[in-house]
Amino acid sequence: MPTESDTHYDPSLGNKFIFVTGGVMSGLGKGITAASTGRLLTNAGFDVTAVKIDPYLNVDAGTMNPYQHGEVYVLEDGGEVDLDLGNYERFLDIDMTSDHNITTGKTYQHVIEKERAGDYLGKTVQIIPHITDDIKRRIREAAEGTDVCIIEVGGTVGDIEGMPYLEALRQFAHEEPEENVLFTHVTLVPYSKNGEQKTKPTQHSVKEVRSIGLQPDVIVGRCEDKLDPETKEKIALFCDIPTEAVFSNPDVEDVYHVPLMVEEEGLDQYVLEHFGMADEALPEGERANEWREIVTTDKDGEVDVALVGKYDLEDAYMSIHESLKHAGFEVGVDVNVHWVSADEMADAHDGRLEDMDGIIVPGGFGMRGSEGKIEAVRYARENDIPFLGLCLGFQMAVVEYARNVLGLEDAHSAEMVEDTPHPVIDILPEQYEVQDMGGTMRLGEHTTVIEPETLAYELYDDTSCTERHRHRYEVNPEYFDDFEDEPLTFSGTAGNRMEILELDDHPFFFGTQFHPEYTSRPGQPSPPFLGLVDAVLAQRERTNDDSSNDADADADADADTETEVTH
């Protein structure tokens, strides 16, 4: 093993490690499988953390189009990362940092910087040992202070960009006692046309893994239904693992039910026994049960919320979908999210939104779809539809109000129209000289001061909140005076920065410069999202009461008419 002085690699860090790889195809649900395993170990009383390995050359996910990789999730320290880290935070109820996301760009950049600084003088810098040692160092440091660290390797086994990571894992397993490492391999088990569960893709995938020097300890089969006993036995036989080490991960109504499914098959107990931790775990009857209670809450009705965005892709707005779900858990309703194309909104917004109970305008960048988002804001404002604007949605609410209420013709964001006569949204002062696009925005957690006796204060029940940001533009201070004494007020600020807006005499009109969706959890819904769903239900109740009163009035009128005719 290389010495610590050579590699900054400390083998004493961390404790138990679960490595999760995937085969056959991407998008099988490695992240949900890993997060579900972590949830069960957390329920059993252990401290669990996670690491996501992304083999792409990008240093982080910040410059990626959502169509490429889903939403960019922002951590408390400002790290722009893969959406799987959002699942880890939600499932494990932990706050992670940039150190929990390893990318090829980040690893190679660090090793090259060390080479340029002369740290490797006289040595040839190579994949082995320098890159693999850096990967192992990052895993161990992220795991420090926890009982179990779950490491998901992105992509599919056999991808060329993932090879250094799999080699690092092989070395890792060689360096650790056998009882400290467990390899989980997630594969696809499709149905044939005659309804048979086919194991051949799994066999070939495991053969690929073994050719690299890794032997799965656990195999999780992704299938439409639970794996048949015969299927499990066949996988075990051809992949050289015990039958009891083969688990099902079938399609479920909600990803939050996956921990319940794998728990029924005993995945957590198998892992604990492998690690020799079963005796240290809480007895099954004493393990935390809040997760099951939250995600299986009975629902009494449903509400419909329009998400007016540019991307017809749920992954692009993953945290928003999940935050609405969390709010639904809290109040006992299903929240149906309807994507509405912002590109098409400008010409037909009435028809697209008239059946919606609430409207969300999410964050984003660029001119495309901005006019449609502005129209969605206007529709919500003029028709008393509960509205939530997030980041760019907050900014477009400012633009809409400036145009249609303050009369500032052609007001816009300088991001969209540089020569707008009224740049009510302008670039942050510290961004004037910024050249690089990656990692240079206002990122991560910042504190917002909340005005008392406002909707924001009612939602957060405090005079401040700390939420995560990701933006390069803000409300232009030159226009603060224009908004004074207006029904649209800024109820949350950070120094001279406007962070929260709300509209008086409206059922719910709320916007945030920050992204509250990143801190929402099952059992701890984000206050703005919970406020939106509460407002939708209150609006519906008022409408039902009005309809009932109208019906009673009509009935009384009919009775009066009948009495007059009789007499």
Give the tokens for residue 113.
């910087």
474 part of a folded domain: yes
Same domain, 284 and 337: no
Q: With a cut of 80, say whether residue 419 has pLDDT above it.
A: yes
Mean pLDDT of all residues in 422-428: 93
Are 34 and 179 found together in one domain? yes
517 catalytically annotated:
yes
Mean pLDDT over 75-102 rounds to 96
160 marked ligand binding residue: yes
The verdict on residue 147 lying in a domain is yes
Q: Is 26 annotated as a binding residue?
A: yes
Q: CATH number of the domain that 108 lies in?
A: 3.40.50.300
Q: Exactly one of 80, 89, 371, 517 is catalytic; which is it?
A: 517
Find out whether 198 is annotated in a ligand binding site.
Answer: yes
**Residue 126 marked ligand-binding:** no
Provide CB contacts within 8 A for 298, sequence distance 6+. 332
Burial degree of 185 (CB within 10 A; 0-12, 13-18, 19+): buried
Same domain? For 490 and 374 the reply is yes
Question: What tokens were used for 381?
Answer: 């404002």
Residue 354 shares a structural domain with residue 464 = yes
Lowest pLDDT segment from 404-408, 476-480, 542-546: 542-546
290 with 388, same domain: the answer is no
Q: Is residue 560 part of a domain?
A: no
Residue 440 domain boundaries: 298-542
CATH of the domain at 438: 3.40.50.880
SS3 state at 98: helix
State yes or no: pLDDT of 95 exceeds 60: yes
Known binding residue 301? Answer is: no
In tens, the pLDDT along 336-354 reads: 999 999 988 767 666 789 8
Burial 358-389 (b: 16+ CB within 10 A, else e): bbbbbbbbeeebbbbbbbbbbbbbeeebbbbb
pLDDT in tens, 26-74: 888 899 999 999 999 999 999 999 999 999 999 999 898 888 888 999 9
> Is 84 labelled as part of a ligand binding site?
yes
pLDDT band, very low/low/confident/very high, at 150 (cuts 50, 70, 90) = very high
Catalytic residue among 412, 422, 469, 515: 515
Residue 482 annotated in ligand binding: no
Same-domain pairing of 363 and 279: no
- 391, 422, 446, 474: the catalytic one is 391
Can you list the alpha helix ranges (DSSP code H) found in 58-215?
Answer: 66-69, 84-92, 104-116, 132-143, 163-175, 200-211
Chain CA centroid to CA 342, Å: 22
Q: Is the residue at 194 inside a domain? A: no
Q: Alpha carbon of 269 to those of 78, 243, 279: distances in Å?
A: 36, 15, 11
Does residue 335 sit in helix, strand or coil? strand
In whole angstroms, give the CA distance from residue 204 to residue 246. Answer: 16
Ramachandran angles phi, psi of 289, nearest 5°: -120, 5
Residue 567 belongs to a domain: no
Looking at 273, 295, 317, which one is the last position of a domain? 295
Task: Evaluate if residue 5 carries a pLDDT over 60.
Answer: no
pLDDT class of 548 with cuts at 50, 70, 90 = low
C-alpha–C-alpha distance, residues 244 and 258, integer Å: 18
**Is 515 assigned a catalytic role?**
yes
**Total domains, the chain:** 2
Give residue-wise pLDDT tens across range 226-271: 999 999 999 999 999 999 999 999 999 999 999 999 999 999 999 9
Mark whether 455 and 357 lie in a shared domain. Answer: yes
Q: What is the pLDDT of residues 24-38, one digit of tens each?
A: 888 888 999 999 999
Same domain, 179 and 308: no
Same structural domain, 346 and 278: no
Instruction: Please count the other Cβ atoms lying within 10 Å of the Cβ belonging to residue 541.
Output: 10
Looking at the fold, whether 389 and 451 belong to one and the same domain comes out as yes
What pLDDT does residue 436 have? Answer: 73
Specify if 232 maps to a domain: no
Does 316 map to a domain?
A: yes
- Give domain status of residue 165, yes or no: yes
Calculate the average pLDDT of the chain.
91
Q: Is 29 within any annotated ligand binding site?
A: yes
Residues 278 and 305 in one domain: no
Concerning whether 338 is annotated as a catalytic residue, the answer is no
**Cα dihedral 161, 167, 168, 173 sign:** positive
Q: Is 336 exposed, middle or buried (0-12, 13-18, 19+ CB in 10 A)?
A: middle
- As a dihedral over the C-alpha atoms of residue 340, residue 342, residue 347, residue 353, rounded to 10 degrees, the angle is 30
DSSP 113-149: HHHHTTTTTTS---IIIIIHHHHHHHHHHHHTT-SEE
The answer to whether the annotation marks 203 as part of a ligand binding site is yes
* The predicted structure's pLDDT at residue 433: 75
DSSP 466-511: EEEEEESEEE-GGGHHHHTTSSEEEEEEETTEEEEEEETTSS-EEE
Ranges 163-172, 278-287, 499-508: which has the least confidence: 278-287
Which H or E element spans position 555? Answer: helix 527-566
Q: Are residues 507 and 388 in the same domain?
A: yes
Q: Which residue has the tokens 């933006």?
A: 471
pLDDT score of 563: 55
Quote the CA–CA distance of 105 and 57 in Å, as a whole number: 4
